[in-house]
Chains A and B, each alone.
Chain A
């Protein structure tokens, strides 16, 4: 009985406003129907994990949320995705503006071949900030929020590519934070970095979620269980068929009492 209030509070937090509302999403790469019938709400100030076996469309779906798939010729979206109530595929929406609000971290840390400072200042400069003092402040803030400031504050002029893999990933996070996104999409952000850095990035997600909505794609179920509030399980049942969202709910429930047999099989390691 003592656990009831705790669950209730947690439940309340999770019924906060949906940042993203997705309704009946279909996605195609040319003739290939990759995703079907995706309906999901991603709540603000939480971490949502997308899990599933590789090839299950979770990264594809993630890239629908900031229209990165637009960069791939021949892709097509049906259905509706709204961000804070506004249709992101609606007429007059510039994907470039959308991507400023919905930042993205990739599997491979991808600092630009320029200094640490210039990496973080890249976004703000893009969007018109040119005053040195203002840039300095934004850069410092972003690096502090990404827990990298202490390590790099004396070597800001050094190339971003000289940092270790884990530092590079946090630099990329700082670079995104510098443009003040509302949402942070992370596409397997920890699969190419060392375990200590993984820990740092996970801690960082916990700190950031009070100000940024985070969606993480991960193939690591322990990670999903550690970092996320809600978990969505995707599955492509047969080769060549469109992938579906099988189950979505609070992470604790997905991992302890999944409603769908396929989720349970995946969680317990029977396939994937």
Chain B
């Protein structure tokens, strides 16, 4: 077999593998889109499910999803950002910092069902928050914390040294330099991390089923229970009561996650252009 042929075959295999990757994504999107698009009406988005087969809309589940995601973001962001500032700017680099970083990475890889179980034991029962948006948000924040923290740390480290020197050279203290120069310069990348983490939280099922419950309810207070879109989808599909609504929910869920991911990409790209 000549060089030319082996070259062609290698190219063909590479091309096929690439195609499979795209096709896998395409298949999921197309399938869910075809099965779900018929469901998407204003009524589906804004009204409550009713009847034994959960006809009608999924409004409360969309709200519960956004609520719990938003609340966990509010909880996570200050902690994650300040922890990252400490790690990147203040901590003496060494064993302890590496241990914190390792802990964060491990936290990120804990199976979400385990995190759900922990959330149930700790927030729902021990802390007495019951099945609630608050319990859900706290458990989700365990999941988001490492993502936002590591993204922020990378963002802070990416701010050039000589920009900090400029600030110190003007008689700025360390905190003034961090808060007025470093964090604003790192902001786009921090936001990218937060948005990616929110996308992850929106799609999370195991954690919220254990902590926010399954009751279809329009939660207003953080102590109200609720059913997220993912849990709604799971229930509908597992009990086979309303597959159409399940696919409609799946489609909306994908649109939301896609929206978060595209926003993150757009922010990252815009940031690159500005530099």
Which residues of A are at the interface with B, using a C-beta cutoff of 8 A?
66, 68, 71, 73, 96-101, 103-104, 106, 108, 110-114, 122-123, 126-127, 161, 172, 175-176, 179
Chain A contacts for B173, CB-based, 8 A: 96
Check if A99 sits within 8 Å of B162, measured CB to CB: no
Given the complex, which residues of A lie within 8 Å of B163, measured CB to CB?
110, 112-113
CB atoms of B171 and A99 under 8 A apart: yes
- Known: A123-B171, A176-B169; 20 extra A-B contacts, CB below 8 A, are A68-B168, A68-B169, A71-B165, A73-B92, A96-B171, A99-B168, A101-B171, A103-B170, A106-B165, A106-B166, A106-B169, A108-B162, A110-B160, A110-B166, A112-B163, A113-B163, A122-B170, A126-B180, A175-B166, A179-B171
A113 to chain B, nearest CB (A): 5
Assess the A113–B184 pair: CB atoms within 8 A. Answer: yes
Considering the chains assembled together, what is the distance between the CA atoms of A179 and B275 in angstroms? Answer: 27
Which of B165, B172, B274 is A110 in contact with, Cβ under 8 Å?
A: B165
Interface assignment of B178: CB less than 8 Å from any CB of chain A? no
Closest to A114 in B: B184
Would you give the shortest CB distance from A106 to chain B, in whole angstroms? Answer: 6
Contacts of B185 in A (CB 8 A): 112-113
> B218 on the interface (CB 8 Å rule)?
no
**Given contacts A112-B181, A113-B184, A113-B185, are A126 and B170 in contact (CB under 8 A)?**
yes
| CB closest chain-B residue, reference A104 | B169
B167 within 8 Å of A (CB atoms): yes
Binding site for A on B (CB under 8 A): 92, 160, 162-163, 165-173, 176, 180-181, 184-185, 274-275
Set of chain B residues within 8 Å of A96, measured between Cβ atoms:
171-173
Q: Which of B162, B167, B169 has the most CB of A within 10 A?
A: B169
Task: Give 15 CB contacts A-B under 8 Å.
Answer: A71-B168, A96-B172, A99-B169, A99-B170, A100-B171, A101-B171, A104-B169, A106-B165, A106-B166, A106-B169, A112-B181, A123-B171, A126-B176, A126-B180, A127-B171
Instruction: Indicate if the CB atoms of A103 and B172 lie closer than 8 Å.
Output: no
A106 to B92, CA, bound (A): 26
For the complex, give the distance between the alpha carbons of A73 and B94 in Å.
Answer: 13
Q: Are B166 and A172 in contact (CB under 8 A)?
A: yes
- Whole-angstrom CA separation of A103 from B168 in the bound complex: 9
By the criterion CB–CB under 8 Å, are B167 and A112 in contact? Answer: yes
Whether the Cβ atoms of B180 and A103 lie closer than 8 Å is: no
The smallest beta-carbon distance between B171 and chain A, in angstroms, is 3
Most A C-beta atoms less than 10 A away, residue of B163, B171, B172, B185:
B171
The answer on a CB contact under 8 Å between B166 and A126 is: no
Closest 3 CB pairs of A and B: A100-B171, A104-B169, A123-B170
| B217 vs chain A, min Cβ distance (A) | 46
Neighbour of A112 across the interface among B92, B166, B176, CB < 8 A:
B166
Contacts A112-B163, A126-B176; is A66 near B169 (CB within 8 Å)?
yes
Q: How far is the CA of A73 from the CA of B90 in the complex (A)?
A: 12
Would you give the shortest CB distance from A107 to chain B, in whole angstroms? Answer: 8
What is the distance, in angstroms, from A108's C-beta to the closest C-beta of chain B?
Answer: 5
Question: B267 to chain A: closest CB distance in Å?
Answer: 15
Determine the chain B residues whose CB is within 8 A of the CB of A122 once the complex forms: 167, 170, 180
B170 and A106: CB pair below 8 A?
Answer: no
* Chain B residues closer than 8 Å to A66, beta-carbon distance: 169
Give CA–CA (A175, B172) in the complex, Å.
13
Instruction: State whether A104 touches B171 (Cβ < 8 A).
Output: no
Bound Cα distance from A101 to B169, whole angstroms: 10
Partner of A104 from B165, B172, B181 at Cβ < 8 Å: B165
Q: Which residues of A have CB within 8 Å of B172?
A: 96, 126
A100 and B184 contact, CB distance less than 8 A: no
CB distance A176 to B170 under 8 Å? yes
Q: Which residues of B contact A113 (CB under 8 A)?
A: 163, 184-185, 274
Inter-chain CA distance A138–B180, complex, in Å, is: 20
Bound complex: CA A161 to CA B171 (Å):
22
Contacts of A127 in B (CB 8 A): 171
In angstroms, how far is the closest chain B Cβ from the Cβ of A21?
22
CA distance A4 to B169 in the complex (A): 41
Known contacts A110-B163, A112-B163, A126-B176: A103-B169 contact under CB 8 Å: yes
- A73 neighbours in B (Cβ, 8 Å): 92
Provide the residues of chain B in CB contact with A106, threshold 8 Å: 162, 165-166, 169
Of chain A, the residue at the smallest CB distance from B185 is A113
Whether A68 pairs with B165 at a CB distance below 8 angstroms is: yes
Q: Is the CB of A175 within 8 A of B171?
A: no
Q: Which residues of A contact B170 (CB under 8 A)?
A: 99-100, 103, 122-123, 126, 175-176, 179
Contacts of A172 in B (CB 8 A): 166
B191 to chain A, nearest CB (A): 15
Closest A residue to B164 by CB, please name it: A71
Interface centre among A97, A99, A103 (most CB of B within 10 A): A99
